[in-house]
Structures are given as structure tokens and as C-alpha cells.
Amino acid sequence: MTSVTQNVYGHVLSRVSTDDPDIECLSWQVDVLLDHLSMEPSMAASFSRLSTRKAHLPRGVLQKLQDRGQEILNAIVRCACSADALLVPAFESVLSLTHALTLDGMTSLVELCALTIHSPDLALDILLGCLKRQSLRLLAGTIKPALAMHFADNIVSIALDHIHEANEQQIDRAEMIMLHDLKKERDGYPLAECAFRIDSAKVPETWAHVRLTAASKPKNAPLARESLGIGHVPVFPAMPVFVEQCSWILTNYGPFVRPRALFAAMRHFADTDGQYCCVANELLASDTVACEAGAMRPKSDCRTALTTHFQLSLNESQRAAMLAALTHPLVLIWGPPDTGKTQTIVAIILGLLDRFPDERILVTAPTHNAVDNLMRRYLDVTGRTGPVALRVSTEASLLHSHTLSLLV
């Protein structure tokens, strides 16, 4: 069936470069092929080859590809598990054909990347190398350039952070599950139903990010609904014909509630043009800052703190981030996974302790795992000789090695 479909796509799309195509008929056929991508997203790569012939495409066909670029991009991302690195050139080619993206469109595309792409390197290539680089062009006329960059930076960072955390906390369920095709859709994706044993431990919660694997073919999704041992999972790749004929391994990548809420918050922030407070304007480098931020800055030079903790071996960007944090009342620092953010935060904490030895410092993070990693790194540097760190958590059993009773 796939070879037949490939032949159909190849035949229709090869006609767009002929000298005298039947434009009306061809335009209708291209529409049909685009509609079919929801059922067979792997065919999206066929459209990527048209980017090299952009100047020779009939105006009606080019307009259709530009207007429906979002659908092609979504289909390409849905194939992340099987295409892997081959995804990048196809995504980049279609992105060059895409005229514009709405705020909703870009948010949903990045959210889809967060759920389907599991390789941090591939995510960096797609999100930073392709999408973020084109964000100003794609969002032109929708919001102000500064806000567009802020919006793109943040939704990309949310996705990259989730992909990094998901790889750290993935857990395979011990028992296999069976799937049932509901013949329904949610947000344009087919729904499958999975049944859990009533006595099963650690049943995934609603909006958990799960991965279903059969015969080494992974399908990714957030758990749409879970109750009484039944879960509904949207399947992003095409629903396999053998879905009900085999057992499936379910891998839980942890909750997707926080990233989903952050995506919604950024979408709302962009919708309101960022008109919240002077803090937002300062972060966006606006000319309308009304805060008296200078009064809050330490007056002395903090560069000595950079040499005090030379054993941390900070690179140039980490040293700049540490200096900024010690000389400004509010600093936003971001970096892709594995770029030394935790090490930088530890350096900032040590610098603040040097400047304010009698003050207490509160460190928070969206997840317990992030706080634990930070505390472990802090203790690796300070050992038992530094200021005592107190870890506050609801999961006491996981923190025994860092409790005061053990450290004293």
C-alpha cells in the first residue's frame, strides 16, 4: 500500500514542473494529497522536494503549499521516530515554502516536537537550527519583532527542557498492554484505548507523556484521559493496521501538564502583546521600562567572585551569566540541555553566599528532579564544609542521603 501511495504522490507532484499543467485539476489533486497526510504523514517528505523548484511552481500550487505549510510540517514531525536525522532537511525545505505561521500554529508545532522527538540533538536541529531561525519571518505582522523573538525563544526552551527531562525519567511498565482503535480523533489525531489491570501499580496520570512500542516502531502521545483502568492515547503517526493484533510496551516519560501549561501561558502572553508589567518590558529590552531597577543593584564590583570559585571551571558564557546574576536584580538565563546551566546556578549560589553570608537563599525548580540534581551538584562542590543546604520536598524517602541528620 505504501509503494502505491508513493507512486501516486510522485506522479501528481512531478506534474507541477511541466510546461503546461492543468492548473485547476492539479490544484485539486494537491489539495487531496495534503488532506491525506493526516492518515499517512510519511508522505509529507514528497512536498519537501518542491522547495528547489519554488520559482517554477504554478502560482496556485505555490500559494496552496504556502498556506498549508503548517499541515506538512506537522506531518513531518509526526514521523520523528522513524525518520530521525532525515527529518531535518525535509523540515527545513518545507519551512522555506511556508508563508507564515499563526501563534497557535507555532505553539502546536513546537508542542508536537516536544512529544515526538526524543533525541536532544535532533530537537536542537529542528527547533533551534530551523524553526527559531525563521521565527521572525513566520510571525511577521502577527506580533512585534521583540515579542516574536521572546515568544519563539521561550516555547522552544520549554520543548527542549521537556525532551531533556523525559529522557532522564523514562520508565517502562513491566506488563504489556493491548490497544483498541476507537475510530475517533482528538485534535486531528487518531485515538487508541488501552486497558490497565485494576491492581496495576503506577498507572500513568492524565496528560502523562507516554510512548507505545511494538516491533520497534514507537508512537508518542500525552495520555488524554485515564479512569477506571482505561486510558485514551492520541497516536501521532498513522494508526497501524496491526494495532489490535499485538501487545504493546508503554514507556512513561513523566507528566506533560507543566509544559502544556507553559505553552498556554506563552501563547496568552503573546496574545496580550506582553502588556503585563515593567518586569516583562525589562526582559524584552523595551524602551518603556518604568522600574527603578538600578536602585536594587549591588554597587560594588562582583568580578572577584569569579576568581573565588575557580574550581568550578566556568567557560566564558557561564562567567558572564554569573556576573550578570550578581550585578542585576533580575536575570533570565537560558541554554539548551547539557550546556552547564546547573553548574552556572551553583556558581551563582556560591557568589551570593560570598556577598550575603548572613542571608538565606531560596532555590526553586518546576520539578523535584531538577532540584535534586542542583543539590547534588552543590554538595559535590561544597561537601560538608560549606553552608548547610536544606531540601524541602514531599517525597522524604528520596532525600535521606541529603537530610540534616545524615550530614551532621
Question: What is the pLDDT at residue 314?
Answer: 84
Per the structure block, which three cell numbers stand in for 263?
505553552
Using 50, 70 and 90 to split pLDDT, how confident is the model at 62? confident
Q: Is-contact 118 92, C-beta < 8 A?
A: no
Q: Is the pLDDT of residue 292 over 80?
A: no
Domain ranges of the chain: 1-99, 171-255, 292-407
| pLDDT exceeds 70 at position 274 | no
Instruction: With cut-offs at 50, 70 and 90, classify the pLDDT of residue 115.
Output: very high
403 pLDDT more than 80:
no
The hierarchical CATH code for the domain 171-255 is 2.40.10
pLDDT at 285: 53
Q: What is the pLDDT of residue 102?
A: 93
Q: 362 in helix, strand or coil?
A: coil
Confidence of residue 93 (pLDDT cuts 50, 70, 90): very high
SS3 letters for 1-21?
CHHHHHHHHHHHHHHHHCCCC
Residue 277 predicted with pLDDT over 60: no
**CA dihedral over 113, 116, 120, 125, signed as positive or negative:** negative
Q: How confident is the model at residue 158 (pLDDT cuts 50, 70, 90)?
A: very high
Q: What is the pLDDT of residues 68-80, one digit of tens each?
A: 999 999 999 998 8
Q: What is the pLDDT of residues 179-235, one digit of tens each?
A: 888 888 888 888 888 877 666 666 787 788 888 887 444 456 676 655 546 778 888
The predicted model gives 309-330 an average pLDDT of 81
Contacts (Cβ under 8 Å, ≥6 apart) of 292: none
pLDDT at 290: 42
pLDDT > 70: percent of the chain = 79
The H-or-E segment that residue 217 falls in is strand 217-222
Higher pLDDT, 14 or 114: 114
Instruction: Note whether 46 and 2 are within 8 A (CB).
Output: no
How far, in Å, are 25, 144, 146, 333, 369 from residue 280 at the CA level?
Answer: 51, 14, 12, 14, 28
Contact 322/351 with Cβ under 8 angstroms?
A: yes
Q: Cell for 56?
A: 517554477
Query: Burial level of 289, CB count in 10 A (0-12/13-18/19+)?
Result: middle
Q: Can you give the pLDDT at residue 381?
A: 84
pLDDT tens for residues 357-385?
A: 888 899 988 777 788 888 888 888 887 77
| pLDDT for residue 153 is more than 60 | yes
